[in-house]
Structure 1
């Protein structure tokens, strides 16, 4: 099924990462990104040795580089933002790892290549409808080898905490409401209180499970985020309690038969 023009226009109206590429890159340095997001992501991913990996919604290559450094044989990064891809290519030029990047829309992707693992950190939460989520799932399934895995971290559909609850970690998350396709606004703050805003969309867990199953993925599992032992040791007791108890983000894994 091909996306119609309304779908494409809506996709283009999502967050303009070209305008905030460097600011979003800086937000990856917030401690929760390392000790909650990244820690959980790699716990779910497991051993990367000699795997061929596709990193969808790769942004400036934050995870693309880490995946390669953790033993992957090949890593290809894809992002819709040419500003983000430019940053990724700059990092590759400064410290060559053999990474390949493509500036393409994940809804339309066809690399004519199959991978052992596909990662798509913060991709699925850009789908505004079950149909868009299904098409993302199709792209993922079409690029996986039989037995290949899909692993992602995304906005948690079940998150219910107050907007300001995550502010101590340097960000806030605000749901317009919990209807299908409702906007989720993330704001990432710097020490001077300047911030950038990113718009995602709410779709229920059941919508994810149905759409991904229909797209050809199976063994779908949700994974609660956890704090790393290193992060626990580096902060006061109870520092991570709010984020771990409220779960603003969540892991998801699936496989292709």
Structure 2
């Protein structure tokens, strides 16, 4: 169901929410440098989408660019976008819960920009990523903050209309209920990372507002009014033990 929806909607997401951006109302890699020096690094993008984050990595000197994504259209677009990169590019059309043939203990860096939360099996996905990384390898991911969709704008005010505590698969309102995404508490992401052998370095949910006027439509999925109440994005930086 999710794959079908992505094939229909892929074009409107081409180039959106990609490095150096981490997500709505969040920090910027250019300003904060969470990855550090990526020159000569072998990097893996989980949910690579249209390839713009991999392009960012390539333009900054990464040695090898690898990625996987569920969507055929996204992989086709990423292959075209990255065709002029002077380094090795290897892309797989695959769900992140499965290993499509990626090597073990190979990558210096793995990352996922607003994609990891699509997994239907968080533990298996994180086990896979741990398997792919070298010992001491870096893993950074961003995703929509799990408080964000608990809050909705109704009748001129924001209200909590869903439980933060109850986890599980849900139809997603931002996608007009055409996809199913698992709601997970922030602690679930943190604890599952630890259980899968990662050491957590940072958890970031700072809210950064644009310099322009912050008065926009409060009913928008990502509105500045909502961001004044709850974060839209969280980021976790971790290392493979």
Question: TM-score normalized by structure 1?
Answer: 0.72
List aligned pairs for 1:4-23, cutoff 5 A.
13=2, 16-23=5-12
CA distance in 2 between counterparts of 1:201 and 1:42 reads 31
Match of 1:121 among 105, 113, 119: 113
CA distance in 2 between counterparts of 1:196 and 1:72 reads 38
User: Aligned residue for 1:77?
Assistant: 67
Task: In structure 1, list runs of 5 or more residues that go unmatched.
Answer: 1-11, 166-173, 189-194
1:206 aligns with 2:187: yes
CA distance in 2 between counterparts of 1:40 and 1:224 reads 14
Match of 1:252 among 232, 236, 239: 236
CA distance in 1 between counterparts of 2:227 and 2:91 reads 32
Q: CA deviation at 1:68?
A: 1.5
User: Aligned residue for 1:181?
Assistant: 168
Change beyond 3 A, Cα 1:241–1:177? closer
- Maintained 8 Å contact 1:137/1:216: no
CA distance in 2 between counterparts of 1:207 and 1:108 reads 21
CA distance in 2 between counterparts of 1:38 and 1:226 reads 8
Q: CA deviation at 1:27?
A: 4.8
Change beyond 3 A, Cα 1:144–1:65? same
* 1:166-186 deviation line (CA, Å, top 9, x unaligned): xxxxxxxx9854311142626
* 1:137-161 deviation line (CA, Å, top 9, x unaligned): 1001001111111100112123366
CA distance in 2 between counterparts of 1:83 and 1:238 reads 35
User: Aligned residue for 2:122?
Assistant: 133
User: Aligned residue for 2:213?
Assistant: 236
- Maintained 8 Å contact 2:22/2:113: no
Change beyond 3 A, Cα 1:15–1:200? farther
CA distance in 1 between counterparts of 2:202 and 2:189 reads 11
Q: Which has the higher helix share?
A: 1
Change beyond 3 A, Cα 1:226–1:256? same
Change beyond 3 A, Cα 1:160–1:83? closer
- Maintained 8 Å contact 2:46/2:112: yes
CA distance in 1 between counterparts of 2:235 and 2:61 reads 21
User: Aligned residue for 1:223?
Assistant: 204
CA distance in 1 between counterparts of 2:177 and 2:78 reads 20
User: Aligned residue for 2:103?
Assistant: 112
CA distance in 1 between counterparts of 2:116 and 2:26 reads 16
SS in 2 for 1:96: coil
